[in-house]
Structure 1
Amino acid sequence: MSLVKKGSRRIAVGETLYRWTVRKRPTYCQGNGWTPLTFAVEHYEQQGSVLVVSLPCVHPRSWLLGRSTTVRPALVASAIRTALDSGWTPLQPGPAFRLSLKEEELPEGTAWFTATI
């Protein structure tokens, strides 16, 4: 599995480049608030295992009211470091590595808002 290049953003963590993306429109389950906001990360140049990060909030474009946040580069970099410490090997092929972050694991200064359409 690999990410689509169009619409993805580049981020450097240490000396390594990664590509990351967030779904612009929520899935049906995200729209109903049944599943959390997620984003995906992969190595920038080589295909390997994809990191899928779940956050403790709803998608910003959820159809129901709920607490959400904006996925910013600081949050992505923090999640990458946590995943690497937890055993994610981005250059090894294999299934997606799933990481569920709790609110206390988010970077300091993460802003919350109420998601509405």
Structure 2
Amino acid sequence: MALGKKGARRIVVDGVTYRWRLRRRPTYSQALCWSPCTYAVECADHRGATLVVTTGTPHPGNWFGRPATPVLPADVAGHIRLALSRGWMPDRPGSPFFLDVSEDCVPGP
């Protein structure tokens, strides 16, 4: 699963360049606040396994206007470091590596 370059942001963590991307529009489930916001990260220099991070907050574009904290570059850097410590190998091909950092996913109304 490759991450498209359009809309992706660059981030350098410990000397390695990554690209990360949050969906502009939420999925139907995210729009109804049934599932939390997710974003993807990949190494910018090598084709390898993609990191998929599940946050504990609603997507900023949810339909109910629930308060959502934005995904900040500092959060992304911390999640990359956490995933690396848990075994994510961004420079080797493979299936996506899922990292769930949500505490509780609040279901919709």
SS in 2 for 1:39: strand
Provide closer, same or farther for how the CA distance between residues 28 and 102 of structure 1 changes in structure 2, counting only shifts above 3 A. Answer: closer
SS in 2 for 1:30: helix
Gaps of 5+ in 2: 104-109
SS in 2 for 1:77: helix
Match of 2:18 in 1: 18
The amino acid that maps onto 1:17 is T
Q: Deviations over 1:28-85 (max 9, x none)?
A: 1110111110110000011110000000011011012434110111010000000000
TM-score of the superposed pair, with normalisation by structure 2? 0.90
Q: Which has the higher strand share?
A: 1
Q: 2: distance between equivalents of 1:101 and 1:67?
A: 18
Q: Is the 8 A contact 2:57 2:102 kept in 1?
A: no
TM-score of the superposed pair, with normalisation by structure 1? 0.84
Q: 1: distance between equivalents of 2:64 and 2:97?
A: 28
The amino acid that maps onto 1:34 is W
SS in 1 for 2:60: coil
Give the total of aligned pairs.
Answer: 103
SS in 2 for 1:76: helix
Match of 2:107 in 1: none
Q: 2: distance between equivalents of 1:47 and 1:78?
A: 21
Match of 2:50 in 1: 50
SS in 2 for 1:68: coil
Q: Is the 8 A contact 1:42 1:48 kept in 2?
A: yes
Match of 1:106 in 2: none
Q: CA deviation at 1:8?
A: 0.4
SS in 1 for 2:68: strand
The amino acid that maps onto 1:87 is G
- 5 Å matches for 1:32-71? 32-71=32-71
Match of 1:114 in 2: none
The amino acid that maps onto 1:92 is R
